[in-house]
A = this chain, B = another copy of it.
Amino acid sequence: MFLNNFLNMRISSIFYAILFFLSSISYAQEPVDYVNPFIGTSNYGATFPGPIAPRGMASISPFNVAGPQNLPLEKDSRWLSNPYVHENTFLTGFSQVNLSGVGCPDLGVLLLMPTTGVLETNHLKYGSTYSNEIAKAGYYSTEIDKYNIKAAFTTSKRVGVSKFTFPKGKSNILLNLGLGLTNEQGAMVKIVSSTEIEGMRSVGSFCYNNPEAAYPVYFVAKFSKPAANFGVWKKPATYKGVEAQWMGYNGKTRLMDASTKMVVGDSIGTYFSYNFDKIETVEVKIGVSYVSIENARENLEKETANKTFNDVYKEAYNAWNQLLSKIKVEGGSTNDKTVFYTALYHTLIHPNTLNDFNGEYPEIKTSKIGKTAGTRYTVFSLWDTYRNVHQLMSLVYPQQQFDMVQSMLAMYDENGWLPKWELNSTETFTMVGDPASIVITDTYLKGIKDFDVQKAYKAMLKSADQIADNPVRPGLKDYIEKGYLTTENGGSVSTTQEYNAADYSIALLAKELGKTEDYKRFLNRSISYRKLFDKELKLLRPRLKNGNWYKPFDPLAGANFTENIGFIEGNAWQYAFMVPHDINGLKKLMGGNKSFTNQLQKVFDDNQFDMANEPDIAYPFLFNYVKGEEWRSQKMVAELVKKHFKNTPDGIPGNDDTGTMSAWLVYSMMGIYPISPGEPKYAITKPMFDKITIQLDSKYYKNNELVIEKTVNNNGYISQILINGNKQNSYFINHNDLVNGQILKVILK
């Protein structure tokens, strides 16, 4: 038996080695081949290494955050927002829907797990260590030590495909609907036949909030081989009354063999068991939907019927390569390319597809099923992504950005408000500010105009002006009357800054649309943060309801996500420069260029700069605002990239924030950065490749491509900037100049 298994193992190892070799040959050198999905799977990056199609609804992640073996990064012992942590070792399945790079837990459910031998339904007992992980864009595989099972995974947009290679003997494929990333519970399952399961799992309560909005993810699972036997397990709650004396089964797990009836419960699952007389593979396809079981089944059939695992992988591979190839980089090390393309990959996960294959999706708030001809996107972490992700989409993937804006406008139609932090058609209202206005303005001003801008403008004004019952802008009355929120509202300074930024975008759009009065009004509103500038500290500072400064005031308080009056996820230093639309105004407040430069440099010198969170991520580029100091931006950005972004699991500085950190890296390595969200302009720093070619979408841009080049002197600073060979004096470039020029050349010295 041992020999036999050993031989089998050897043969399969050789087989996989050959397969890997072949795939290396055929796929080598393509952008997709540089993607390393392990980047961000440690250091709270919160990405997962398993496969997802671009902006896929389904994704598969190895799930290794349950069980005491995984302490301290164990899901029930702390706030943990990801289904996989690279340094953990105890695997309890493969979740079929997942969020990437978020700071709050949700999804991480529908856990598929192959085992062998006698059926065991307790994940703490059936879990295992694992070895030989391989992760590529659209592909993940590992070997499950305890069972000598090879598990490989790929996905189409709405279907996860798992392929298990079992040794000879009794095997089981468990679908655990109880275990999940969060404390949200409840599932329904019905085995349709020996090759099919349908059901749902309740998810939600993102950020431990808004449990009323918990919602179902529906699924249909199809197995390539009929199970020899199957059933449902259910572990009911333990009954405590006097009748417990007659309930010999009290609290015990029930095995409902051959059950094809609907079963519901908090802790249920299915087992499909096999008796193999040789090594055998079983493929499991799981289609998901947020609308219905029928749609989950249709998604499965339309996307993967008659396709093998390899067919689906090939499609995912090609889809990824096509998107990633929109940016071609030359020069740079393999590691440079790896972190670059992996970052670009991470910006193409969220927002992700919500609609089913047939276009249906659950509307937000209305309880209706909507239908879209395009793509209905979801997972809008806008407080993060308004800063750079959507700017990257507008530049490289404008059709996607158009569909995202369309989705945001549909949310306004359905919910009465533009989204703030939307998740699978629930508005979580996480974080602060009014970021949708910035995203929409930014998109429009970059030339992506084929949406209903009048409706968008109306929606923006509603958020900006409606004082009563405004869930987007709490504290708006104070803001409008005083120019700032007071300490009556948490995060009063940060929120004032966010509203300023949003109002600036509204002003820009008003101007574009010829609404002069609005333009003036919002432009005026956009600089009200100045009332919070403490001249002594040269920092922004909270004010009380009576207008007095909040005191005692510690500008260092609030770092590292500790709660801090006046500031959200940061301290006064991390917010001091977060007025990207009014840096010249801020410079004046601070006493001019020199004082501004000193104060900004101090953030870095005193270790107040936090690369891992959004408020200050544009800081490194702000030296561009001071003539002669631009080299500091170039230096700082290069240092930060080198220090924080690596081809290792801890290669993202913190939560990827649905691609925001990654978008920062992509822009930084290209030597441009959207310095003032809403405003179509970029700061120019030093590109980290010799040549970068961005393929432009002919629907929105007249040129076919944009080239960014540099002279080869990696250690120098920019001495000249040329557009199509014409020297330019500014370290900023407008979007139009960028996309209408063809070559941005940076000469280093």
The interface residues of chain B lying within 8 Å CB-to-CB of A264 are 186-188, 200, 202, 216, 264-265
Any B CB within 8 A of the CB of A582:
no
* A150-158, A205-213, A442-450, A452-460: which lies at the interface: A205-213
Any B CB within 8 A of the CB of A279:
no
Any B CB within 8 A of the CB of A362:
yes
Q: How far is the CB of A253 from chain B (nearest CB, A)?
A: 10
Any B CB within 8 A of the CB of A461:
no
Any B CB within 8 A of the CB of A421:
no
The interface residues of chain B lying within 8 Å CB-to-CB of A263 are 186, 202, 214, 216
Copies of this polypeptide in the complex: 2
Any B CB within 8 A of the CB of A642:
no
Any B CB within 8 A of the CB of A303:
no
Q: Which of B202, B213, B254, B368 is within 8 Å of A212, CB to CB?
A: B254
The interface residues of chain B lying within 8 Å CB-to-CB of A260 are 367-368
Q: Which residue of the partner chain B has the closest CB to A236?
A: B185
Is the beta-carbon distance between A185 and B237 smaller than 8 angstroms? Answer: yes
Is the beta-carbon distance between B208 and A246 smaller than 8 angstroms? Answer: yes
* A1-9, A76-84, A484-492, A498-506: which lies at the interface: A76-84
Q: A185-B237, A242-B76 are in contact. Are A212 and B261 (CB under 8 A)?
A: no
| Cα–Cα, bound, A99→B409 (Å) | 54
| Cα–Cα, bound, A490→B14 (Å) | 61
Q: Which residue of the partner chain B has the closest CB to A202?
A: B264
Any B CB within 8 A of the CB of A257:
yes
Q: Which residue of the partner chain B has the closest CB to A232?
A: B212
Q: Which residue of the partner chain B has the closest CB to A366?
A: B258
Q: How far is the CB of A134 from chain B (nearest CB, A)?
A: 33
| Cα–Cα, bound, A80→B200 (Å) | 34
Q: Which residue of the partner chain B has the closest CB to A243?
A: B183
Is the beta-carbon distance between B237 and A266 smaller than 8 angstroms? Answer: yes
| A228-281, CB < 8 A from B | 234, 236-237, 239, 241-243, 246-249, 254-266
Any B CB within 8 A of the CB of A623:
no
| A652-699, CB < 8 A from B | none
| Cα–Cα, bound, A365→B257 (Å) | 10
| Cα–Cα, bound, A247→B188 (Å) | 24
Any B CB within 8 A of the CB of A94:
no
Q: Which residue of the partner chain B has the closest CB to A293?
A: B262
| A324-343, CB < 8 A from B | none
Q: How far is the CB of A248 from chain B (nearest CB, A)?
A: 8
Q: Which residue of the partner chain B has the closest CB to A215?
A: B261
Any B CB within 8 A of the CB of A218:
yes
Is the beta-carbon distance between A265 and B266 smaller than 8 angstroms? Answer: yes
Is the beta-carbon distance between B242 and A77 smaller than 8 angstroms? Answer: yes
The interface residues of chain B lying within 8 Å CB-to-CB of A79 are 243, 246
| Cα–Cα, bound, A254→B218 (Å) | 21
The interface residues of chain B lying within 8 Å CB-to-CB of A77 are 241-242
The interface residues of chain B lying within 8 Å CB-to-CB of A239 are 183
Count class of interface residues, chain A: 35 or more
Q: How far is the CB of A10 from chain B (nearest CB, A)?
A: 41
Is the beta-carbon distance between B78 and A242 smaller than 8 angstroms? Answer: yes
Q: How far is the CB of A748 from chain B (nearest CB, A)?
A: 49
| Cα–Cα, bound, A67→B242 (Å) | 15
Q: How far is the CB of A314 from chain B (nearest CB, A)?
A: 35
Is the beta-carbon distance between B200 and A256 smaller than 8 angstroms? Answer: no
Q: How far is the CB of A269 from chain B (nearest CB, A)?
A: 14
| Cα–Cα, bound, A241→B205 (Å) | 16
| Cα–Cα, bound, A78→B241 (Å) | 9
| Cα–Cα, bound, A620→B185 (Å) | 58
Is the beta-carbon distance between B183 and A247 smaller than 8 angstroms? Answer: yes
Q: Which of B212, B243, B247, B262 is within 8 Å of A218, CB to CB?
A: B262
| Cα–Cα, bound, A243→B205 (Å) | 12
Is the beta-carbon distance between A188 and B262 smaller than 8 angstroms? Answer: yes
Q: How far is the CB of A245 from chain B (nearest CB, A)?
A: 9
The interface residues of chain B lying within 8 Å CB-to-CB of A247 are 183, 205, 208
Q: How far is the CB of A584 from chain B (nearest CB, A)?
A: 42
Q: How far is the CB of A81 from chain B (nearest CB, A)?
A: 12
| Cα–Cα, bound, A246→B209 (Å) | 8
Is the beta-carbon distance between A188 and B185 smaller than 8 angstroms? Answer: no
Q: How far is the CB of A636 from chain B (nearest CB, A)?
A: 36
Max chain B Cβ within 10 angstroms of own Cβ: one of A185, A257, A261: A261
- What does the 1/0 interface line of A350-375 toward B look like (CB < 8 Å)? 00000000000010010110000000
Q: A241-B76, A241-B77 are in contact. Are A259 and B211 (CB under 8 A)?
A: no
Q: A237-B185, A264-B264 are in contact. Are A256 and B202 (CB under 8 A)?
A: no
The interface residues of chain B lying within 8 Å CB-to-CB of A262 are 188, 200, 216, 218
Is the beta-carbon distance between B186 and A236 smaller than 8 angstroms? Answer: yes
| Cα–Cα, bound, A116→B362 (Å) | 32
Q: Which residue of the partner chain B has the closest CB to A185?
A: B236
| Cα–Cα, bound, A259→B205 (Å) | 15
| Cα–Cα, bound, A365→B186 (Å) | 26
Q: Which residue of the partner chain B has the closest CB to A368?
A: B260
Q: How far is the CB of A262 from chain B (nearest CB, A)?
A: 5
Q: Which residue of the partner chain B has the closest CB to A77?
A: B242
Q: Which of B241, B266, B368 is within 8 Å of A183, CB to CB?
A: B241
Q: Which of B200, B205, B362 is within 8 Å of A249, CB to CB?
A: B205
| Cα–Cα, bound, A264→B109 (Å) | 15
| A185-200, CB < 8 A from B | 185-188, 200
| Cα–Cα, bound, A77→B244 (Å) | 10
The interface residues of chain B lying within 8 Å CB-to-CB of A76 are 241-243
Is the beta-carbon distance between B208 and A255 smaller than 8 angstroms? Answer: no
A/B interface sample: 14 pairs, CB < 8 A: A78-B242, A79-B243, A185-B265, A200-B264, A202-B265, A205-B247, A205-B249, A212-B254, A212-B257, A214-B256, A215-B261, A216-B263, A260-B368, A261-B367
| Additional 7 contacts, C-beta under 8 A, given A208-B247, A259-B367, A261-B367 | A183-B241, A183-B243, A185-B265, A186-B263, A202-B265, A211-B254, A264-B265
**Residues on A close to B: CB < 8 A?**
76-79, 183, 185-188, 200, 202, 205, 208, 211-216, 218, 234, 236-237, 239, 241-243, 246-249, 254-266, 362, 365, 367-368
What are the 7 closest A-B residue pairs judged by CB atoms, nearest first? A208-B246, A260-B367, A186-B264, A211-B249, A264-B264, A76-B241, A216-B262
